[in-house]
Structure formats: C-alpha cells, structure tokens
Structure 1
Amino acid sequence: MGFMSLIPIKQLLRSSSAYCQRWGVVRAYVSVASNEKRVMGKRPSIEGVKDIIAVASGKGGVGKSTTAVNLAVALAKTCQLKVGLLDADVYGPSIPTMMKLNGKPEVSKDDLKMIPIENHGVRCMSMGFLVGKDSPIVWRGPMVMSALEKLTRGVAWGQLDILVVDMPPGTGDAQLSISQRLQLSGALIVSTPQDVALIDARRGANMFRKVEVPILGLIENMSCFKCPHCGEQSYIFGSGGARRTADEMDMEFLGEIPLEVEIRKTSDEGNPIVISAPDSEASKAYSELANKVVNKLEEFTKGEQNRPQILL
C-alpha cells in the first residue's frame, strides 16, 4: 500500500547495481510507482471551510490586524458570506479587543472542539480567549505550533465561506507552518507606503511564493491623512510606495486605506468602522477590498479548474 518504503528501494538499487555490473549495463533508470493516485492541487484542510486566506505583513505596526478585522466584517456584511476570523498571533492577540469579545469558548460535547465566539456576524477564535488579558505568553516554538494546531483544527468552525487568518508579523516558523498546514487559498499583504515597511512586505510576499501560496494582492494602509478641520491631505508615510511595489513584484494593487482617527478609535472600542461608520471613506475602502478579495478567489478557483490534473 502507498509508496515503496525506503528499505525496499535500497535493496532494489543494490540488486540493480550488481545486475548492471554483471551484464555491462552503463546506465539504468529506476521508476518508482504507487498504487495510490494523488491529484495535484491545494484544498483547504479544515472541514467545512471553503477558502482560507491570510492577512499578512513582513513587520508589525502596519495595521494588519485592523485590516483583517474590517475585511472579515465587510465580507460578512457587504458580501453576505459566512466568515470566520482566526487570530494566529499567539504572542500578541488583539482580536478579542477589536471584536469586543471576552470569556472562554465553550467546548462541544460530541467532538470536544472549541466553539468560536461570534460578534458582528463573524465567528472568532484567539489565544486571547484562553489566557488572561495581561498574561504574557512565554513559549518556545513547539508550544506555539501546538497552540496553532488547537486554534485551527481544534475548533468547530462549522460551514464557512471564508476563514480570515490574522497572521503574526514576520516570516518565521509560525508563518511557515500556517502557510503549509492550512493550505491557504491566498494571501493578502498589508503595508504602509513607508520604504521600511515595504521592504518587509516584499519579504512576506516572497515567503508565500516560496510555499506556493497565491498572492491576492497588496493593500496600502495609512495611505493619507485628511485634516478634519481644513481638509488638507498629508502623506505622512510617503505616497504611492505600495502601488510601485505591487507593480515591481507583479502583484495586484488592491487599494488604499486612509489614516483616520476613527479607525483607531473604533478598533479600540471593539466596534469596527465598517459597522460603526458604514458611509465613511475608510468603510467604503474596506468594502471594496472585500469584493476584490472575493473576485480574486473566484479567479483562482477557475484557474485551478481549467488546469489539467496531474496524477502521481
């Protein structure tokens, strides 16, 4: 059953070598076959979840979690989808605050899986539900990997159209494990226009490409500050950096999110701006982003369906 084990292959090579020497064979080819057919192509690895997308950045402080929260709410509110939100930042979970959630999740009696806590039409899971608010998580890598496994497959997500994963910053073990174990449908890269942030955004995008995760596109956060008194626009972190980077790296530029006090305020209050101020410029930008993400996922799906299947 399955692929040939390592020991029989070694025996085969030794016997083949002796055979070749005896009969003067210069070159031989060994073909290893399997009686199990595997179809190339990625499928989400959480039961009941249609698509899993990562919201990522190469560094912290660029508004990745704020983007993940408002995107998830916009997908549920604007696109009328069943949405889940996973806070994969084990060391610095922020989803409980931004979604105004507290308490520990209940556990289902049948399969002993944690039940997500829901608000704003989004099912949420975070390490912040399992530890005290001010408790530091002083863990080494293997413990973090175990926790992420529990937060993904140990959760009764139910039927979801999209699971949004708020990724931890950086390109280390946690990010790599999430990318490979969850078999992501796509990754959204978040960056400010600042050169320092864009350098790390490039690294983040290249990491996903190395593990063959499609890039949904690049979104520029904190793009422009508009004075509430005089209306003057100030490009505090620079102008057009994310658009140029997207062009250089052959990624789609998905739009700009303005730098607004209300975004910060509503995030701290646990009332995302998509809900609290649906007619604001920022809310409209998040809604447009949600529609673009859905369209990109549909493009990826059609592309896989049209691609010839390779059987191994």
Structure 2
Amino acid sequence: MKLKLTTILLVFSVAISGFSQSMPFESKSIQEKYGENGKKNILSGPINHDNNRDMDDVWLHWDSGNNENGIGTNDGSTFTVAAHWEVGDLSAYNGDKISKVRVLIFEEGYSSIVLKIWTGANASNLVYQKQLTGINVGTWKETILSNDILINSNQELWVGYTVFNPIAGQFPAGADEGPANRGRGDMISFDESTWFSLADANPDLDYNWNIQFLATGNTTPVTADFSASQTSITAGESVTFTNLSSGADSYTWAFEGGSPSISSQQNPTVTYNNEGTFNVSLTAKSGTNEDVELKTDYITVGSSGGP
C-alpha cells in the first residue's frame, strides 16, 4: 500500500509562492519492502527528554527507535527533513555537545545525502554539514561530527539531512510507525527556509523521522573559588572580589550585607555600608555542572568612626 500525500499540494501553493511545481510525496511501509514479517531496526529504549538526567551521554530523538516507513517524492524533487527542538526542550542538556548523529535511510535512489545541523527559528543558521558516504540502506548510519556543536537550550535546534535528486517512486527518508510529534519529529522543507509538519500536511503520514543525536555531557570539572582585595574594612568602603574558579562559564555571587547583594559579574566590586560580619558565596557553572564556594564570616565591617 502506498499513501499519496494529496493535501500537500494545497499547503505549498499557499506557503511557498516561489515554487511553481507541485511537490507530491509517497510513503512505503516496512512490510511492503520486506514482506509481512518485516525488517525492523530497533534501538534501545528511546529517550526524548530526560530532565532528571543521570548519565553523561544520551541519544536524543523524537522517533520511537523503530524503522517502519520510507518517504520519497514521486517527481524527483530534492527535499530536506529534520527533527526540531524548540527553545527550552533541551534545558536539561544546556552546555552539552552534539558529538554524533545517526539517521536511517530506508532505501536507495538518490544522488547524495548531506547531513545538516541548524540553529535558530526556521533553521535559519546552518552550523554543520557533511555528505554521508558508506550508507547501508535499512540500517542506522552513525556519523561522528568533525567538530562538536554546543547545545544552547535558549535557541531552536534542527538536526536532519537533504536528499538530493531522489528517483521518483523511491523512498529514501526513514521514519517510524508514529504517531508524529508534530512540529518536532516530522519537519520537512524544499528550500530550508519554509518548513512544515509532514503529519499536518497529510494525517495519513503521521510519522517521525529516524533522526537522533548524541548529547555528550560536559565532563570538565568545575571548581568555584575566590579571593577579596581586603576582608576587614570600615562601613562605607568597598571590596573587589577576584574570581579564581576553573572550568566554568557563568557565575552567581551572593553578598550578605553588601551592595549589590547579588552579581553575575566575573570580578565584582561590592560596598558595605553597615557594621557586621558577613558571608560571601560564589556559584560557578558550566552546562549542568556546578560548584559552590561559601566563605562564612568572610567580610568584617567596623565602625567608620566620626563624631
């Protein structure tokens, strides 16, 4: 059974005025390709999100981990598919690195396939691309990136590939059995500018692409430490703190009795207007790793004298 994406023609006549030709899609199931017994490529349990993270490296994806379908055009149009993570989706992995990507190509019938990673709205910023070679159709193709891509959960992330010059009637883009994580696991485009959900275009193609990436935890140890220009002062004087931390890229200070009382500067200057003995703490952080240094009764403020 082949499912034709009939409604996609209407979607593209509205959304992409620059395309003069129609862009019909077809799908092919694993049973059609290999018979009723099928041939499945099943990975270990899928991990889409893990906000209670307890491991350094983890494969992230929207698909089930199974390959059940292939998608292709019936007119040979080049197309791009991607898995998409919105702002905040990867908050548990902020600061980690994308070190590997794996995709499943369902069957042959194309001139080339190029792996791509983008950031930003509508995949506006292409940050990595590499032509895939040595593809064995029907099995996962794992690629080690030539340079790590930093995960920033404050911006969108897109991971996918472009299928160049597919042969009409062939189905290169591997997909699972669904249902689709719409707008995330099933994104597709003809120009890498205008994207749409395959399932929204045709509910019969309710699948996620077989696209996954490895988030590698930041294993650099973080150590928080600091010193002060002086620790005994009189009221109204200021202290400059020197950050001696290592392995961190963001800092949060807390100054009991000081002004300001908190700071994110690397080496802040703080004024103490009242007498007393005060604590100072520094939290140093990189990705999911952090360390806290607390110095109790660190700053002593005496009377400024006067009449």
TM-score between the two structures when normalised by the length of structure 1: 0.24
| Bigger relative CO (Cα 8 Å, ≥ 6 apart) | 1
Larger helix share, 1 or 2: 1
Answer 1 or 2: which has greater strand percent. Answer: 2
Q: TM-score, normalised by structure 2?
A: 0.24
